[in-house]
Amino acid sequence: MGDKTLTRMDLSEAVFREVGLSRNESAELVEAVLQHMSDALVDGEQVKISSFGTFSVREKAARVGRNPKTGEEVPIQPRRVLTFRPSHLMKDRVAAGNKR
């Protein structure tokens, strides 16, 4: 199993190799993609990338939490959380690629 961590740099390098734009422009395009996805999610939109997966925003109700160390009760405000549901294709590829 791999133990590398890829970053934006690796994604822009892949774009650079694939399309032959400058490294700088490739990096800007990677950033633009992440920015558009983030903006849509912040607007409460779902982001559905076919054969990759779906990002959705869920509303969580307020609840009483507890500090696990002190046992003290703390109110948790209502909040919005992001969930990612991988596509079947991604699940299959990740399962197959990591099978030993």
Partner 1 sequence: MIRSELIQKIADENPHLYQRDVERIVNTIFEEITNAMARGDRVELRGFGAFSVKKRDARIGRNPRTGESVAVEEKHVPFFKTGKLLRDRLNGK
Which residues of the shown chain bind partner 1 in the complex (CB under 8 A)?
1-8, 10-11, 14-15, 18-19, 21, 26, 29-30, 32-34, 36-38, 40-42, 45-53, 55, 57, 79-84, 86, 89-91, 93-99
Q: Which residues contact 99 (CB under 8 A, 6 or more apart)?
A: none
Question: Is the Cβ of residue 71 or residue 88 nearer to partner 1 in the bound state?
Answer: 88
Answer for the pair 47, 54: CB distance below 8 angstroms, yes or no: yes
The answer to whether 41 touches 30, Cβ cutoff 8 Å, is no
Q: How far is the CB of 23 from partner 1 (least distance, A)?
A: 13
User: Residue 14 or residue 65: which is nearer to partner 1 going by CB?
Assistant: 14
Between CA 17 and CA 21, with CA 19 as vertex, the angle to 5 degrees is 90
